[in-house]
Amino acid sequence: SKQDGRNRITFFSEEMGALARARDLVEIELKRAIQNREFILHFQPRLCLRTNRVVSAEALVRWQHPKRGLIMPAEFIAICEETGMIEDLGQLILEMACQTSMAWHKSGKDIELSINISPRQFADKRLLDALRDFSSHPDFPTGKIELEITENVLIGDHDFIAQKLDAIASMGYRIAIDDFGTGYSNLSYISRFQLNCLKIDQSFVSQLPKSGPIISLILTLAEQIGATIVAEGVETKEQLAWLRNHQCDQAQGYFVSHPVEEKDLFGVIEDLNTG
Ligand code: C2E
Ligand code: CA
Ligand code: CA
Ligand code: CA
């Protein structure tokens, strides 16, 4: 009836109002959290399938909320991206990650570090300055730092993007394409830009062996352009075996290791390296 319809609309708008208020609250809390540096990094190892050794790790941010405990990026990264707060949060993450990498390097831990760079952070003018500051430090292992960007970062003004990527590469940083194969862009950027690494999205890996043909295609493509290929979201020994048999370079996923706190990382790596 008409009456029901009206109630429904009232109900929806109340519910949406409540949602909007909840979101405003998260936004206010996030602003405060960024100021207070309530974020930590976890690290997920990347295993080389030829040598069976951990060669790299990905930094993954977590929000250490004073009351709610550890909050995962799915709950806050998108809000930060939409509101522009990611520019400050991204800067904070970059600082933490680079400092961590420098500490590892100084203590003789020879491992690469991947850092996620969001589209808005990639567009942020401060990114190049920050990267230049770090790379100019004598103890900083620039060549061991990889920046993970998604395909949608590469849509748009190609000359502008090429310039930025060239500047980053000339400092010695590596560039990886994250979630490869899930973007809506065409693949022309592959030959246009210098890319060091492609990370096959976990949605392909989880569908092995059915997705075998498409993963084989990506492996061939990566070889053609001289990029390292990493399979993400490897959860089973069958997936790992398939990838190894098809000369995939590296694997990352729960079957190898979950993301862990820094204090546990090198113990986990030690165990993985010694089998
Ligand atoms: P991503 O960059 O694709 O990172 C991989 C995500 O998959 C991580 O989730 C990781 O914990 C999870 N994962 C790893 N292995 C497996 C597996 O075997 N199975 C499954 N189902 N999942 C696996 P996390 O840490 O919750 O991060 C989610 C997303 O949030 C990331 O996806 C990335 O887009 C974003 N994110 C995380 N940290 C950062 C950051 O420091 N900066 C930015 N800009 N984004 C970040
Ligand atoms: Ca990533
Ligand atoms: Ca990914
Ligand atoms: Ca993803």
Q: Give the span between the Cα atoms of 238 and 210, in whole angstroms.
A: 12
The neighbour count for residue 94, using CB atoms within 10 Å, is 22
> pTM here?
0.94
Nearest residue (CA) to ligand 1, atom 11? 259
pLDDT band at 12 (very low <50, low <70, confident <90, very high): low
Question: For a pLDDT cut of 70, what percent of the chain falls above it?
Answer: 95
Residue 246 pLDDT greater than 60, yes or no: yes
Tell me the per-residue pLDDT of 219-233, one tens digit each, with 9 for 90 and over: 999 999 999 999 999
- The Cα 168–Cα 9 span in angstroms is 51
Nearest CA to ligand 1 atom 38: 60
Q: Residue 30 and residue 37: Cα distance in Å, rounded?
A: 10
Q: How confident is the model at residue 155 (pLDDT cuts 50, 70, 90)?
A: confident
pLDDT interval class at 18 (50, 70, 90): confident
Decide if pLDDT at 175 tops 80. yes
- Taking the C-alpha atoms of residue 205 and residue 198, their distance in angstroms, rounded to an integer, is 14
Of the chain, the end-to-end C-alpha distance in Å amounts to 67
Return all residues near 201 (Cβ < 8 A) that are at least 6 apart.
179, 180, 181, 182, 232, 233
Q: Which residue has the tokens 């075996």?
A: 241
Res. 6: pLDDT tops 70 = no
Ligand nearest to the CA of 180: 3
From ligand 3's centre to the CA of 28, what distance in Å? 28
Question: Cβ–Cβ contacts within 10 Å for residue 258, how many?
Answer: 11
46 touches 250 (CB < 8 A): yes
pLDDT digits (tens, 9 = 90+) for 116-127: 999 999 999 999
Place of tokens 């246009």: 192
Predicted confidence band of residue 166 (pLDDT cuts 50, 70, 90):
very high
Characterize the bridge pairing of strands 69-71 and 53-65: antiparallel
pLDDT score, position 24: 83
Does ligand 1 lie within 6 Å of residue 44's CB atom?
Answer: yes
Alpha-carbon dihedral sign for residues 83, 39, 76, 169 = positive
Query: Band of the pLDDT at 189, cuts 50, 70, 90?
Result: confident
Give pLDDT, residue 8. Answer: 63
What is the rounded average pLDDT of the residues 101-109? Answer: 96
User: How many angstroms is it from 153 CA to the middle of ligand 3?
Assistant: 14
**Any atom of ligand 1 within 6 Å of the Cβ of 72:** yes
Q: Is 235 in the pocket of ligand 1 (CB under 6 A)?
A: yes
Answer whether 192's CB lies under 8 Å from 221's CB. Answer: no
- Give the whole-angstrom CA distance, residue 110 versus residue 131: 20
Instruction: Supply the pLDDT for residue 11.
Output: 65
CA distance 205 to 259: 18
Q: What is the CA radius of gyration of the chain?
A: 21
202 C-beta closer than 6 A to ligand 1 = yes
C-alpha separations of 175 from 45, 106, 145 in Å: 18, 23, 9
